Structure 1
Amino acid sequence: MELKRYFQSYENYFWEWKTDEDVPGDAGYHENNLLSIPGVGAIAYRPYVIETLKEVQLYGWPPFGALIMVLYAMQDGYTDFAEPLRRTADFYKTPDLDFDTEEAIEFLEKIKNLPNVYKQGQNRIILLETLLSKDSKITSAQAEAILNRYYKRPYELAESAEKKAATSSIVYRDLKTLNKNEAFPSVQSIIDAMKGLVKEPELDDEVVEEEATADTDSDFIKELVEEPKTFQVGSLIKRIWSGLKIPMRHLSPGEQPIGGISDMTNKGDFNRMLLSEFANEDEVFMNRVANNEALYIQREIPPEENIFERIILIDTSLRNWGTPKVLAFASAIAVIKHPKAHSECKVFALGQTGTPISLDKVEEVIESLNQVSPVLEVSKALEKFFNEEHSQKDIEVFFITNHENLAEKNLQKIIHENRDRLKFLVTTASDGEINFYKHHKGARKHIQRIKLPLHELWANPPKQKNVVRNFGGKKTDFPLNYPLLFPTPKGKIAHFLYEGEFFILTSKKQLLKTYLSDNYYDRYSYEYYKTYHGCEVLFENISLRRSGQFALARNKQQHYILCQYQPDKKLISKLNLNTKEYSEQNLTGLNLSNSYKLVYFSKNFYLYYLANPEYYKINMDGNVSLELISERNRGLEKSCEKVDLEVTKLNGSGLKIISNFYNIGINENHNIVISGNELENTSKNSLNLYKNEWEMKILAEQNKNKFIFPDGSEIIADNRGILTFRSSNKGIEEFFIPSTTFGLLSLATYSEFGGTEYYLPEHTLLKVKPIEEMYTRFLEAFIQQILDYGT
C-alpha cells in the first residue's frame, strides 16, 4: 500500500490532519504536522506518530485510524473518543452493515484505565504490539517502503490531508480492529498479555558463576569440529564454555553453607534470630526487623544433591532455521557436555510435537540438525510438553529459541504460565548473539550476553571426507507444496472458477489452485493487462480420461468433486478427489445433442444448453443421478456467462518449465547452471535463467533427481518447476527457486521471500525481502561454500 493511501484522511471522520504553525515539522516539511479529532483536540504530532510506526514496523502496521485512536487513548488527561466514533459511525452507517462502535469505545476505555507505567517508554511500544500486531494490514516490508518514501517525500502527505469521502468498509475496518473485548475482557487481561515482554524489575538473587576451564580435551567436541556437517556447531562450543555463567551443578534446599559468618542471613523465623538482636532498644529492634536488617541463623542441614531433572527444549520451527539453529544446538551441547556438568540431561526438539533426541554422537547431531518443523512458532508443543507430558514440578527446563519468536503472544503466554519450571530461557540471533535469561520468583532477569565472532570461528572449515556415494535407488521425495508457488504449466485440460477462486486441471493430471492479483490501485490496468500468479498443488495423480468436459465443486464435507462429461461416449461421471469414490452413468437413452455443456451452479452440476429450455441437474453427493428440469433459470444463464468471461483470464498464464534436468553445476562465471541455463542476478534486482555461454567449472554428480557437489551440498530437482538447495554449511538455510526460463524468478526460504510476486502465496507469513539481499545471503553463499571446498 502506498504512502498517500495509508495516511489518507476522510470527510466527517473521527480524525484529520492539521497544521500547527508554531511547531517545526520533521523532515523539513512543516504543514500537516498534527493529527487531531475534529471539535475535540489534538491526538499527537506527526513526528511522534512516525517514530511510533517505525518502532512497530517489525510486526507490520494496523489500519492507521485504529492506531491513532489507541495512541489517543494512551494519553494522560482529557480524552473523548466516544462521541467522535459514534458521530462517524452514524454518518456512514448502512442498513446492511453493523459497526462495532460501542465495543470499540469499551476497548479504548480499558486502554485509558491502564496504569501509566504500561503506557510509557518502551512499554508503550510493547502495548501496541500486544494489542494490534495481529491486525497488520501492512506487512513489515510494505511498512519499510512507506517509511522510506515518507523520509524522501514528506510533502506527499499534503495529498493525504485532502479529505475524501470514506466508504462504510473503511469505517468498519477501523472499528473492527478496535473491537478487542473478547481477547482482552479486562484491564488486567491486557497487563497479563504484556507479561514476559514488559521490562522486569531487578531480581534480588544472583546466578552462581562457574567458569569452565578451556583446557578440557573432549574427543566428542573434536569429532564435531572435524566433521564438515557439524563443524559450525563444534567450533562454537568451547567459546561458549569460556563465557558461560549458568550453574552447571547446584544444590537444592540444603545448599546453604554450614557454620561461621556465612551461615547468617537477614531473613528467617524469630526462633532463629541471634540473641544479640534482642539486646537492642525496642525502637531499634523493630526498625531492624522491619527493614530486614536483623540477623538469623540458617538451618544447618547437610547439602543435598540436586533433585531436579534438567531438560533442554530446542525450537525447530521455521524462524529458528539456519544460523539461529546452529547456535541453539551449540548452546545445548555446551550445557550438556560442560566439564562441570555431572548430571544427565534430556533433550527434546520442539515442532508440531516434542520429539526426544540424543546429541551424544556425531551422527545424532547431524540428524537432529536436519530437523525442521513447518510451524512458525512452537507454543502448542511447549504447552503440551508442560501440561501433558511433563506436568511434574521437579523439572528444570532450558528453552532455546530465536529472539524474534518472543514477540509471539501465544508463546509469551505459555512461557509466563510455566516460568516456575522453565528456569532458563536462551535466545539466539543470526549475527551470533546468544542471550541467557533466568526466571526467579515470577520474574525474568537477563543474566548474560555472548556475542560469537562467527566469521572468525567458521573461517577454516575442514575438507569433506572421502565417502563412497551409493547411487541408485528411488528418487528423492517431494513435498506436495513449497513455501513459494509453482509456475503455472502450459499443458492444461480444463479451467474452473469456483466460488471466486481459479483452478486448473493439468495434462499431468494435477488439480492446481491459482489466482489473479487484485490490483488495488487501478482496476482498468488489472482488466487490461491481468497480473498472473503461480499456483499450489491440491491433488496429484488423479484418475481420469483426458477427453470431454469437466466441472469442479465442493460438497458439504468440503471434499473436492470432479465431474466429467464425455459427449462422444454419452458418459457422465463423478470423482471425489479426497476419498477417491467414483460413480458413472451412461446417458445413451437421453438422446442429448453435442451442444450441451457441463457446468456448476448453486451447489449442483448441470448439463445445460442455452437454446433448449430443458436441462439436467446432476446431484453433488452419492452416485450419479440426473433430474430433468423444464423451467428456464436466469441465474444459471448469467452464471455461465460470468464463468466463461472469468476463466478466459487464465489464457496465456502458462510458463515454460524446465522438467528434464542434466548437467547441473557451476560455470566459470561462478553461477549455477541448470540444464544449460545460467542462474543470473544480472541487474542486482532480478533473478533469471538464461542460456549458459560459459565453460563449466564444477559439475555435480547426479543420483536420480538429486545433484550432489563435492562438498556435500545438494540441489534437488522437482520436474513440477521447483529447485531445492541444501548447503553443506548448516548456517545457510534451505531455500527454493523456480525452474522456469520465462521472466523473473524468486528465491524463498521457510521464513523469507524475495523476487517477483508471481511466486508469492496469496496468504503467507513470509517476510518479503529485496531479491539482491536474498541472492547474497543464500544463493551466493551456497556457491561460495562449494568454491571454497578444497582450497
Structure 2
Amino acid sequence: MDVVSYFQSYEGYFWEWGTDEDIPDSSGYNKNNFLYIPNAGTISYRVYLIEILKELADQGFPPFGSLLLVLYAVQENYLNLDAVILHINKAENKLPKRITDDIISASKFLGHLNKLKPSFKKGQNKIILLKTIFKNCHNQLSEVNSKLIIKIFEINPTKLSEAAGHFKVTLSVIDRDIKTLALLHERFPTTESIIEEMKDFVDIPELQDEVIEEETTIETDTDFIQELIEEPKTFQVGSLIQRIWSGLKIPMRHLSPGEQPIGGVSDMTNKGDFSRMLLSEFANEDEVFMNRVANNEALYIQREIPPEENVFERIILIDTSLRNWGTPKVLAFASAIAVIKHPKAHSECKVFALGQNSIPINLDKVEEVIDHLNLVSPVLEVSQSLEKFFSEEHKEKDLEVFFITNQENLSNQKLQKVIHENRDRLKFLVTTSAEGELNFYKHHKGTRKHVQKIMLPLQELWANPPKRNQKGENNNSPRSKKADVPLNYPILFPTSKNRIATFLYEGEFFILSSKKQLLKTYLSDNYYNKNYYDQYKIHRGCEVLFEDISVRPKGQFALAKNKQQQFILCHYQPDKKLISKLNLNTKEYSELNLSGHKIPHQHKLTYFDKNFYLHQIEIPYNYRINIDGDISLEETFDKVNEMDKNNSKVETELNKLNNIGVKILNNFNNVGINSEFGLVISNHELTKNYDNSLVFYRNKYPMKISAQQNKNRFTFSEGSEIIADSRGMLTFKSSHQNVPEFYIPSTEVGYLALASHIEFGGSEYYLPETTLLKIRKMEDMMLDYLEPFIHQIVEYGTEN
C-alpha cells in the first residue's frame, strides 16, 4: 500500500480532508491539513496525525479509517458517536448483516475508549493506548510498509492531494475499517480490559493507580468531605459544603478555546473576516447586505482554534481578622473548600490566609483544616495585607482571585478602596454572616455584580454532630486512610517464603518477592563452626530496594546493573516468545518479540560477564541480550564453557537461600493489653522467653484494654499507637514523651528483635550488615522500651 492508497478519502464516507489556511505546516504543503467528520467535528490536524503514525510505524499502521474513529473517540470534549455511525450506515444503501453486526461491536468498543479517564488519553499515555489496542490488529500494515509511507510523505507531501480526491466508497473499505474495531471489541470487551492490557504493555504510574490492591484506599474529594463531617472538630465546615455545591453558580473552570463547541449553530458569530462569512449573506440585496454588516448582524463561521492552556491562576484569600471570627469564619472555610473540591473544578487552586500578612495554607487534609481554623490575626481588618498581596507579592495580571470576608467588613472604607483598585484581578467577592448567609459578587468590566445569595440553614445542618468513637471501638470505614509506612526501618524485614525469583549479582543476594518488591539480603560470614554454618546458613532478613515493580510473576528473570549502576530486570516469557527489560530506577521499559528467532525450548535466561544470555548447558551457542540501551538479541558462540561453570557456582550459592523464610503476621486485628499485662497483636502475645528472648506466643488470657483500629493504625485511649506494616514490622509510638519510637518484627515463630533509631537488641537475623545501632541486651531493651510503653497504657488507658 502506498501513500495515496493509505490516506485515500471516499465520497459519502464518514471522514473527509479539509483545509485550514490559517494553520501553516512545516512541510510547506498547507492544503488538506486537517481531517473532520461532516456535521460532527474535527478529528485531528495533519501535523499531529503524522506524529502519531510515526509512533505506530514500529509495529505497523492500523487501517486509516479505524485509526480516525479511535482518535475521535478518545477526544475529551463531548462526542456524538451516533452521528459517526449514521454516516457509515449511509455510505451504502444496504449493508450486509455481517457488517451491520460489526458496526454494533465497533461502536461498543469506541464507547469503552470514550469512557476511559482523561489521564489515559493525554500525552504519552495516549500513544501507549493506541499502541496497545492496535498491536497485532486485523488488517495491519507491515512495519516496512508503514515506515515507507512516512518516508515518502516527508519527501513529497503534495502527493496527499491525490488522496484527497473522492472515490466511491466500497463495501471492502467499510469492512476493512469496521471489522478491525469489531475484533478489537472481542479482545477488549470492557474498559477495564483495556486498562489491564495497557498496564502490561509498559510500567506507567498513572495506570498503576487504576488497578487497586485490596488494601489500598483511594481518597476522592467526596471521601474528604465525608471525613470532615465525621471529625467533630471539622463537622461544621464539612456539613455545609454539599449544600453550597447544590446552589453554587460560579464557573468552576474556564474552557480553553479548543474545548469550545465546534460546528453547527454554536460555532456561528456576528463578527469575523469576510472570508468566514456565510454564503447565504451574499444572497441579500446590496443595501440589506451592507446594513447587516454595518450593524454586526451578518453571520460568520469561526475556525477551530488549537487547544490552549488555561492561563488564569485561581487564588482564594480568606480573611482571618478578628471580625471574621466564629460562624463567619466557618462559612469562609466551607466556601473555600467547596470551590477547591467542586466535582467540576479541574484546575489547581492556591489558598492564602489574610491577617497581618498573607500566609499560604493547604486544605487537603482534615488535620490541615483543623489547624487553619484556629488561625486568627489580631488586626481588625485586612486592607493592608490585601493591598500588599496585589501590589508587591502578586503583580501578574492573569489572576482570578476569590476574596472571602464578613459582610460587615465591606463597610470599611480602606477595604472598599483596595477592592475597587484591584477589581480587574479580584474577580469574585464572597461575603459571610453569622446567620448563615453567603453572597457571591463578580467584578466584570469595572462593575460589581451580585451573582447569587445562598442561605444556609445552620441549625438544621448542625443538629447532629458526630460523637467520638468509644474506646476500643473499631473504625473500619472504607473512607479511612492507612497510616503511611517507610520504605525501610532501622532493622531488617523478615524474609517471606513467597518469592518469584532469587539472584546473585557480584556476590550479593537479591529476591524478587511475590509482592513485586526487589529485596536485598545476605548470609552472615561471621561463623566459627563451618558444619553448623552449612546446615543452618545463618540467614538474615532483608531490606526493600524497590516496590510496586510492574512485572508478571510467570517466566524467567535475571538481574544486573548498567553503566550508571541502575538495576536492570530482564524477563523472558517462553510461552509468549517475548523478552523485556525494565530499568527499576527510571522505569524505562523495552521489549522484543522473538517469534522470528528459533530459540530452543531448554534455553534459560541468565546473567554472565556484563550481559544477559539465553543459554543451555553444553550447547555451543547462545543468545546475548544487552544491558544498556534498547533491548536487542545477538546470536553468539563466545564463552560457553565459562558460562556453564559460572552458572553452576551461582546455582550452588542460590541454593543457600532455599527453604528460608518465616511466616509473617499480616492480618492485624484484636490489638490490646491482656489481663496479665501482656501486649497482644492479632491474638499473639509478645512474651519474654526463658532466655530473655522476645517471641510471639498464642494469647491465652482475656483482653483488658483494647485499641481502636483505623486500617493499619491501632490507637489506645490515652494516645499511644501501634502501626502495622503487612511486610512484617510493627511501629510503637508511646504517648509518654520519654519513651522513644521503637520497632519489633511481626513474625509468628522465631526470636524477635527490638530496635529504636539508635539501639538494637535481640536476634541478629534482623541486624543490618552495616549499622550504627548500639547493641544491647534484649532484657535491657525491653526494660527501657516495651515495658514503659505497656505501663503508660495500663496506667492511663481506659479498660474494656
TM-score normalized by structure 2? 0.40
Greater C-alpha Rg: 2
